[in-house]
Structure 1
């Protein structure tokens, strides 16, 4: 079972009830991993939202990943952490979370990609594959060509993120990428369960 295949990243603009609904439905539809992302800096609210998602995932075998915040991940005993380039160093995070947790890292440049295999991480979030309205400060748009090149340069599993939707999924899957991370295509639809099923269908 590939945990990275259909990777849901939550929308921090959605209220707690909406978040819970989206996660529950998306997991019922086949999402394989869930990352709780909060950019507001309210740690108490972040912990509350992470805890709520953890309870939904408790019986499912779907890993809970916390974006950026090692302290929040430890507070709720999440399955792992996903770090950005301006967050805690991967080596420090690994010491804090231990060897049995999942550690992901966003990679935005060729230099970062070249360094990745020497870091104590489990997977790469390659950002951004395509331009996306949810992330405006991206350094690189890798595209299909950049993704193929990245796959040949690292031993680590790669999760593509950024601008991924049903029109480009078949091309992305053809590259052999290990997983695709989506926000809007699951969070911003009426029926997240159906959306997840449809996306998995496209992935084959």
Structure 2
């Protein structure tokens, strides 16, 4: 698993391949298309960009699209964590990640390779308005599982140092990645 995961967002990153092409070598991209009509074309462009950077491509929720573009795996929403074991059985070479937003105990993580925990800090996008988990809750989650955990949601240069010693495997983001690696 790479230490950096760029999450796409159709509104905030309308041309995500431009960001993916500038990511550090070996980074990962999670393409979330939310039913966009150009999902296949965008996924193909992301596959090309991630291959050129020796990176990882995961497709959000859509195993068929992941197969179509030879992605490295699938990222599941929290509501579908229970589907990970079956998906892992059907695609043993795939990397499977899932979102986790709750303050409840961790669910059964069978089949998952990593967990994306959000929002860690106050965030925009899909996490806008959700209470941040904070670093202490993040530490408790990393201590409760052997799966790699990524911090997502409001992570930027000003607060990333707070993650040192938290046990997170890596960082994930939308806006911070666009700001750091985007074309503008």
* TM-score (norm. length: structure 2): 0.87
List gaps (5 residues or longer) in structure 2: none
Does 72-81 or 85-94 show the bigger shift? 85-94
In 1, the alpha carbon distance for the partners of 2:65 and 2:101 equals: 24
| Superposition misfits of 4+ residues, deviation over 4 angstroms | 137-140
One of 95, 105, 123 as aligned partner of 2:114: 123
Whether the 8 Å CA contact 1:157–1:178 is kept in 2: the answer is yes
One of 18, 27, 30 as aligned partner of 1:21: 18
- The CA deviation at 1:137 is 6.8
Is 1:100 the equivalent of 2:93? yes
Whether the 8 Å CA contact 1:114–1:153 is kept in 2: the answer is no
Report matched runs for 1:3-22 at 5 Å. 3-13=1-11, 14-15=13-14, 18-22=15-19
RMSD value, Cα: 2.4
- The CA deviation at 1:51 is 0.7
- The CA deviation at 1:36 is 1.1
Query: CA 1:61 to 1:123, structure 2 compared with 1: closer, same or farther past 3 Å?
Result: same
List gaps (5 residues or longer) in structure 1: 196-204
Whether the 8 Å CA contact 2:18–2:183 is kept in 1: the answer is no
Structure with greater contact order relative to length (CA < 8 Å, sep ≥ 6): 1
One of 86, 91, 94 as aligned partner of 2:85: 91
One of 151, 176, 181 as aligned partner of 1:160: 151
Pick the structure with more helix per residue.
1
In 2, the alpha carbon distance for the partners of 1:186 and 1:156 equals: 23
In 1, the alpha carbon distance for the partners of 2:105 and 2:69 equals: 29
Count of equivalent residues: 182
Is 1:133 the equivalent of 2:124? yes
Query: CA 1:184 to 1:20, structure 2 compared with 1: closer, same or farther past 3 Å?
Result: same
